[in-house]
Amino acid sequence: MNINIELRHLRYFIAVAEELHFGRAAERLNISQPPLSQQIQSLEANIKAKLLARNNRTVTLTPAGHMFLKEAYQILSQVDAAATKAARMQQGELGEISIGFTSTTPFMHKVALSLRQFRERYPDVSVHMHQMNTKTQIAPLQTGRIDIGIMRNTLLPDNLQHRLLFRERFMLAVYDGHPLLERVNEGITIKVLSKYPLVFFERDVGTALYDEIIALFISAGVSPMISQEAGEAMTILGLVAAGLGISIVTESFIRMKIDGVQYIPLAHTSVHSEVWLVNHKKRQNNPAVERLTDLLLSNIYS
């Protein structure tokens, strides 16, 4: 059966079915009565069913008309709902976002603030967080499995681009009573640290931070004495608190309140760890991603 029904046919039929009067329905639709009658007749011929019983005085719904009216309401309701969803999607109020993030990202104040504000403003957007180190974010960014990545500075392929979110100073994490606490006023340099056991990220976990911290030692002309390695930031600080070594971390670690751990600024180094927002150059982001990106950048530079 080849049926060609337009939405206006449904609206015309609903108006007549509700008014049960062609004249009033035509006035309500702002059209003349003869074209309205012709459209209803065309609709009935198209679907091969009598929807209205009419004579010179009355218009009533047939059993088929009652059923068709109920279905027509549902169809128009679905169309309206689809239009509303499309408009909200265009405004970034609906949709999904997949975000890659490093283990320290939740402790970056302005990033955490942006994510919380976004959830409050756009509760109908589904945000999917995927923890992965800097270098393992690159492949899913290229394939589209994640929309944006929050990562440390690293070498990116040509099809990815970055925007700087902020720079973090390097800090020294030590346990209570550590001898270095007595030398804070003198300024603690990288060369001094080569004498102390170091708790460090595993190479395949904190890839960018690992490379950056090793570069600090190389630039100072010394080698680190790595005594322990761990895969999680909290584990590293826990090992520091247990007295198994010291660690070089970034400022965001300070927000991790671990009993027995104190933080000391490093002296005589202008090197910072950069935190980037990374996305694909050519893939068009959905509007919700753009909303979150704008929020992240506005909070970082506020």
Which CATH number belongs to the domain containing residue 239 in this structure? 3.40.190.10
- Are residues 155 and 296 located together in one domain of the fold? yes
Q: Are 171 and 254 in contact (CB under 8 A)?
A: yes
- Are residues 199 and 219 located together in one domain of the fold? yes
Does any domain span residue 2? no
- Are residues 149 and 235 located together in one domain of the fold? no
- Are residues 205 and 263 located together in one domain of the fold? yes
- Are residues 288 and 158 located together in one domain of the fold? yes
pTM, entire model = 0.77
- Are residues 84 and 11 located together in one domain of the fold? yes
- Are residues 252 and 171 located together in one domain of the fold? yes
- Are residues 194 and 58 located together in one domain of the fold? no
- Are residues 176 and 266 located together in one domain of the fold? yes
- CA 168/CA 152 separation, integer angstroms: 10
- Are residues 83 and 141 located together in one domain of the fold? no
Does any domain span residue 1? no
Domain that holds residue 193: 167-274
- Are residues 221 and 83 located together in one domain of the fold? no
Count the domains in the chain. Answer: 3
- Are residues 62 and 148 located together in one domain of the fold? no
pLDDT values of the chain reduced to their tens digit, one per residue, 302 residues: 567 788 999 999 999 999 999 999 999 999 999 999 999 999 999 999 999 998 878 899 999 999 999 999 999 999 999 998 888 888 888 889 999 998 888 888 889 999 999 999 999 999 999 998 888 999 999 999 999 999 988 889 999 999 999 988 888 999 999 999 988 887 788 888 989 999 988 777 656 788 888 888 998 899 999 998 887 788 889 999 999 999 998 888 888 888 999 998 888 667 788 999 999 998 887 899 999 999 999 887 65
